[in-house]
Amino acid sequence: MSTPERGAVAKLGLVSSYHRFHGVDLGDEQDMTLRWTGPGGLEQRYHCDLVFLPEGWLPALRSVEVGEWEAWIVANRSDHAPVMIEVFDADVAGS
């Protein structure tokens, strides 16, 4: 995500659920979400799929998972692995 994009997201009061839940900075992700095959068949892996939520919802965030690479990418279901979040809705009532 570019610096202007980060600023726009922050201005809206949104945060990346993956990065906040796992306590990592952008670019330091351990779980990749995209397989890109470039020229010469060179495979590149990226974490480029994000789930944003209002910062006030962070206390309600229970889990953030990336779909298993083998189940999504290797099995050719998609070139992306999904990012899935669980939010306890009683904690965000009235937000």
For 11-53, how does the pLDDT look when each residue is reduced to its tens digit (9 = 90+)?
999 999 999 999 999 989 999 999 998 889 898 999 999 999 9
CATH code of 55's domain: 3.60.10.10
Tokens of 56: 């006030």
Structural domain of 16: 3-91
Per the model's pLDDT, the better-predicted residue between 95 and 54 turns out to be 54
Cross-strand partners of 15: 53
> Is residue 42 within 8 Å of 84, Cβ to Cβ?
no
Domain count, the chain: 1
What string of DSSP letters covers 8-70?
Answer: HHHHTTEEEHHHHHHT--TT--SS--EEEE-GGG-EEEE-----EEEGGGGGGEEEEEE--HI
Q: Alpha-carbon distance 83 to 65, whole Å?
A: 6
